[in-house]
């Protein structure tokens, strides 16, 4: 793998023992900084030990941090809660979460913490082979979301020519991508397919455009094999997944050995995988909830933060040479999104994969009804007359061992999304 495909080859290929030493040193530095952090001082003091003195050895003694706690902290101590390590004047970067699942969470970064964001993005871009020769288009709304701005600044830091695509229609975005000869496009997986659809409707040939790399996050899609295939064939480009969270930063990225899963950035984070129900470490080879400690952000720290993302992690060697562990198949789903269909647990991404393998880039929606305490699913598919939609139900039954209903709806009748899709809808039975 060429040097420019790494952020820091030496660091990314360290043996496990050396990597642990790097993590330990960074964790102790973080622990020393958060001594003046009211939120964590309280959390850590409960157990009466010194994280700065013991490092990774003691990390498991710190209680988990949850999103609900952070939201509650800001509600109780407005506007920013007790999570700020330093005086407010040290935080020039203010962003917030969308608040779709409750109150928005304000998130602040110091100049030093912002540098950490950009460094994490450097891993994402380098692993996808992005260099200063590239022109990147950001198909984002550029709202208050930190990831949009960090992605933009991170690319600029690498010398990539950047065009922010906020405040534009899909057609305007496509024309900008073609006119400016963008070679890299960033969007949610859903929106990459939506742009491809608008391209087809307007006679624009994206597959022969200059775009050679697409980078996605926000949904599991880019690691879902048949979603990835649809994006890659529509754009004639290599599709890369990555993962992040406002509270942590961009914690995972995909290398060119894909689809091998998402590398966990173990130089910037310490990861654990736990059983979502019990909070105990997940059994080896079993999926579980990812817990992460951000080692480089001291201003608004996240220590043992429960991401809600379900992953299956292993540290098998990767052909790219990196020793960072990988989340196989990317983020498999959100803990909250798991469906229980006739007694079987299933994540939407698994259903997405089967549906896409049959209908390609067409739009669909899944209605969920509670029947006797269990989820009953109906997949509504936009497909031309004559499409064998019942094959989808059969394939889902064979692959996932669940029965679903399938209903054909007219092309163009389902919603389209510019950011994360909301294809799974709960309806009253």
Give the distance from CA 342 to its chain's centroid.
29
Of 131 and 257, the one with the shorter C-beta distance to Zn ion is 257
Of 93 and 240, the one with the shorter C-beta distance to Zn ion is 240
What the block records as the tokens of 5 is: 């495909």
What distance in Å separates the CA atoms of residue 14 and residue 327, rounded to the nearest whole number? Answer: 18
Cα angle 375, 380, 385 (rounded to 5 degrees) comes to: 150
* Partners of residue 73 on adjacent β-strands: none
The site string for Zn ion over 310-329 (x = CB under 5 A, - otherwise) reads --------x-x-x-------
Count, residues near Zn ion per rule CB under 5 A? 5
Of 325 and 404, the one with the shorter C-beta distance to Zn ion is 325
Of 67 and 322, the one with the shorter C-beta distance to Zn ion is 322
- For the segment 370-429, give every residue that binds Zn ion (CB under 5 A): none
- CB 261 to Zn ion: min, Å: 8
255 binds Zn ion (CB under 5 A): yes
The answer to whether the CB of 196 falls within 8 A of the CB of 234 is yes
What distance in Å separates the CA atoms of residue 206 and residue 137, rounded to the nearest whole number? Answer: 14
- CB 317 to Zn ion: min, Å: 9
96 binds Zn ion (CB under 5 A): no
Residue in 66, 229, 257, 378 binding Zn ion, rule: CB under 5 A: 257
What distance in Å separates the CA atoms of residue 189 and residue 371, rounded to the nearest whole number? Answer: 31
- Please say whether the dihedral angle defined by the alpha carbons of residues 205, 206, 207 and 212, taken in this order, is positive or negative: positive
CA distances from 75 to 44, 67, 78, 106, 114 (A): 21, 12, 6, 11, 25
- The residue assigned the tokens 């998130």 is 107
What distance in Å separates the CA atoms of residue 305 and residue 341, rounded to the nearest whole number? Answer: 29
What the block records as the tokens of 109 is: 């970064």
Of 24 and 256, the one with the shorter C-beta distance to Zn ion is 256
- CB 260 to Zn ion: min, Å: 6
Of 255 and 389, the one with the shorter C-beta distance to Zn ion is 255
174 binds Zn ion (CB under 5 A): no
**CA dihedral in degrees (222, 224, 229, 232; nearest 10)?**
0
What distance in Å separates the CA atoms of residue 286 and residue 49, rounded to the nearest whole number? Answer: 31
- CB 142 to Zn ion: min, Å: 30
- CB 257 to Zn ion: min, Å: 5
- CB 326 to Zn ion: min, Å: 7
Of 125 and 347, the one with the shorter C-beta distance to Zn ion is 125
7 binds Zn ion (CB under 5 A): no
- CB 327 to Zn ion: min, Å: 12
Residues of the shown chain interacting with Zn ion in the complex, contacts defined by CB under 5 A: 255, 257, 318, 320, 322
């Amino acid at each position: 793998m060429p040097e420019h495909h790494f952020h820091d080859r030496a660091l990314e290929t360290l043996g496990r023992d050396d990597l642990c030493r790097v993590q330990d040193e960074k964790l102790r530095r973080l622990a020393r900084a958060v001594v003046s952090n009211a939120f964590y001082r309280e959390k850590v003091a409960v157990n009466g030990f010194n994280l700065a003195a013991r490092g990774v050895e003691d990390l498991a003694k710190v209680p988990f941090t949850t999103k609900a706690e952070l939201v509650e902290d800001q509600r109780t101590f407005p506007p920013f809660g007790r999570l700020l390590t330093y005086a407010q004047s040290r935080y020039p970067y203010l962003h917030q979460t969308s608040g779709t699942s409750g109150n928005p969470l304000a998130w602040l970064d110091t100049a030093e913490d912002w540098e950490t964001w950009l460094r994490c993005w450097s891993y994402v871009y380098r692993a996808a082979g992005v260099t200063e020769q590239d022109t990147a288009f950001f198909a984002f709304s550029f709202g208050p979301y930190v990831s949009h701005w960090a992605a933009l600044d991170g690319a600029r830091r690498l010398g990539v020519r950047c065009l922010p695509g906020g405040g534009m229609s899909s057609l305007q975005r496509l024309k900008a991508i073609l006119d400016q000869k963008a070679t890299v496009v960033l969007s949610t997986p859903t929106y990459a397919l939506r742009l491809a659809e608008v391209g087809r409707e307007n006679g624009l040939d994206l597959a022969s455009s200059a775009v050679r790399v697409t980078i996605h996050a926000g949904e599991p899609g880019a690691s879902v094999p048949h979603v990835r295939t649809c994006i890659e064939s529509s754009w004639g480009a290599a599709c890369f997944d990555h993962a992040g969270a406002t509270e942590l930063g961009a914690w995972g990225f995909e290398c060119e050995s894909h689809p091998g899963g998402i590398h966990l950035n173990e130089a910037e984070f310490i990861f654990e995988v736990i059983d979502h129900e019990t909070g105990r470490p997940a059994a080896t080879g079993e999926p579980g909830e990812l817990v992460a400690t951000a080692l480089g952000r001291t201003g608004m720290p996240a220590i043992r933060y429960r991401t809600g993302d379900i992953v299956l992690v292993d540290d098998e060697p990767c052909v790219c040479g990196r020793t960072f562990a990988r989340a196989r198949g990317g983020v498999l789903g959100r803990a909250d999104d798991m469906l229980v269909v006739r007694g079987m647990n299933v994540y939407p991404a698994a259903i997405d994969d089967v549906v896409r393998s049959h209908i390609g880039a067409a739009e669909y929606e899944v209605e969920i009804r509670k029947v006797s305490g269990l989820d009953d699913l109906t997949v509504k598919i936009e497909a031309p007359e004559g499409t064998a939609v019942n094959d989808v139900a059969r394939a889902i039954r064979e692959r996932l061992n669940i029965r679903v209903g399938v209903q054909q709806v007219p092309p163009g009748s389902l919603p389209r999304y510019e950011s994360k899709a909301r294809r799974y809808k709960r309806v009253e039975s």
